[in-house]
Structure 1
Amino acid sequence: MEFTEVVRRRRMTRAYTSDPVDPAVLERALDHATRAPSAGFSQGWTFIVLDTPEAVRDFWAAQTDAAAPGGTPDRWLAGMMSAPVVVVPCGRRDAYLDRYAEPDKLRAGLHQRDEGRWAMPYWHLDTAMASLLLLQSVTDAGLGACFFGLVPDRVDAVKERLGLVDTPEAEAPHPIGAITVGHPAPRSTGAQGSASRRRRTPWREVAHRGRWGAGWDRAPDAPAGRDA
């Protein structure tokens, strides 16, 4: 599949068939995910792969009470729970702090074991970029996937279920969300996403030359705020 087609075909899949996921497809997607950029090549990510019925069921039980026996999952949750694989991408702050404490960063004047030196937690951003590569790789293989956020008050339960617990020796990776993976069921099966009800904003409406508010459709040398 051509890259442009992969980009255009990728969408969030919210319901899956019972067909298993080829392990080779999953391994290739994970390999591609590790090609994402990261500051200092710190590679501050890790991926918890849940690919057995028991592991997937335990994840959902930690994520929501509605997944427990006797619970009543809504259409969205029921469709998402049908995925045979869940991947939980996690950011590793300690990987960044350790990397920027190494000699080459010290010589460059970048040594400072303090997350406040960054304008944002880039370990989460890098993990998100890796997650997009995984989503695109799954699309390229003809499968479906959906990235979603964890329920805020269930994050600790999910972390405990996955063994993501801090120790005196090390800080545990932090999940930035989760990704369901599987063979897409007919679109009518799962919940409809917002993209089915909202207009996709054309790129020309969100791109600005030089500064915010300048817009795109003006001559490059025309002052902002004046018609070209």
Structure 2
Amino acid sequence: MEFRDVVRRRRMIRRYDDRPVDPALVDRMLEHAIRAPSAGFSQGWAFLRLEQPDDLARFWHATTPGGPAAPEDAEESAWLRGMRTAPVVIVPLSNRSAYLDRYAEPDKGWTDRDEARWPVPYWHIDTGMASLLVLLTAVDEGLGACFFGIPPERIDAFRAEFGVPGDYLPIGAITVGHRVPDTGAAGSAARRPRRGVDEVVHRGRWGG
């Protein structure tokens, strides 16, 4: 598939059919993820790969507000039911300490790990770019994927369930699977038009 076609076809898929995903394709997604750029080549990321039904059930149990019970909101319940059909979940995690340690090394010129030196948290940004490579690879392989957040109040439960070290923070999670044939845009986001280039690109100065 041409790269421009991959970019144009990428969108969040929230419902999947029951076909399994070839593990080799998941391998490829993660191989591409670690090709993402990272500040100082710190590579402060990790990925929790969940493919077994028991592991997927544990993930949804740990990360769903209120535990295994479906949310009361009808739209959210439909979203959750659709997402739970994914046969693969990948959780990208960022490691702030890897960056603070890397930039305290002699070749970087800083002598401490002061987080105030960082204008933005590049550990999250770099892990986000790695996540986008997972999403694009899924499209290139004819699959669907969706990046979504883990509720802050469920992060401790997620950590405990999967033994995630304290230095690693999940920046979200990615469902992966085969798109159902009738999957289309739905929900409130689908009613929002995509902003055009002229609306978001400023030439020379803001508003130019």
Q: Give the TM-score, by structure 2 length.
A: 0.92
Aligned partners of 1:206 and 1:62: how far apart in 2?
38
Runs of 4+ in 1 over 3 A off after TM superposition: none
Deviation, 1:101, is 2.0
- Given the superposition, is the C-alpha separation of residues 160 and 95 from structure 1 closer, same or farther in structure 2, using an over 3 Å criterion? same
1:101 equivalent to 2:104? Answer: yes
Deviations 1:180-219 (A, max 9, x none): 001112345x8824442111111111100122222xxxxx
Aligned counterparts, 1:44-123, within 5 A: 44-65=44-65, 68=68, 71-72=69-70, 74-105=77-108, 109-123=109-123
Aligned partners of 2:185 and 2:57: how far apart in 1?
20
- Given the superposition, is the C-alpha separation of residues 111 and 210 from structure 1 closer, same or farther in structure 2, using an over 3 Å criterion? farther
Q: Point out the structure with max Rg over C-alpha.
A: 1
1:143 equivalent to 2:143? Answer: yes
Q: Which residue of structure 2 lines up, in the alignment, with residue 169 of structure 1?
A: none
Q: Which residue of structure 2 lines up, in the alignment, with residue 206 of structure 1?
A: 200
Aligned partners of 1:208 and 1:65: how far apart in 2?
40
Deviation, 1:164, is 1.6
* Structure 1 residue ranges without an equivalent (≥5): 167-171, 215-228
CA RMSD of aligned residues (A): 1.7
Specify which of 164, 170, 174 is matched with residue 175 of structure 1.
170
Q: Which residue of structure 2 lines up, in the alignment, with residue 154 of structure 1?
A: 154
Q: What secondary structure, in the 3-state scheme, does the structure 2 residue paired with 1:91 have?
A: strand
Give the partner amino acid of 2:136.
Answer: Q
Q: Which residue of structure 2 lines up, in the alignment, with residue 225 of structure 1?
A: none
CA contact (8 A) 2:65 2:151 kept: no
Aligned partners of 2:65 and 2:113: how far apart in 1?
39
Aligned partners of 1:93 and 1:132: how far apart in 2?
19
Quick check: which one's helix share is greater? 2
CA contact (8 A) 1:15 1:187 kept: no
Aligned partners of 2:199 and 2:179: how far apart in 1?
32
- Given the superposition, is the C-alpha separation of residues 206 and 191 from structure 1 closer, same or farther in structure 2, using an over 3 Å criterion? closer
Q: What secondary structure, in the 3-state scheme, does the structure 2 residue paired with 1:160 have?
A: helix
Identity of aligned pairs, percent? 59
Deviation, 1:88, is 0.5
Q: Which residue of structure 1 lines up, in the alignment, with residue 40 of structure 2?
A: 40
* Structure 2 residue ranges without an equivalent (≥5): 72-76
Paired residues, number: 203
Q: Give the TM-score, by structure 1 length.
A: 0.84
Aligned partners of 1:177 and 1:191: how far apart in 2?
21
CA contact (8 A) 1:75 1:191 kept: no
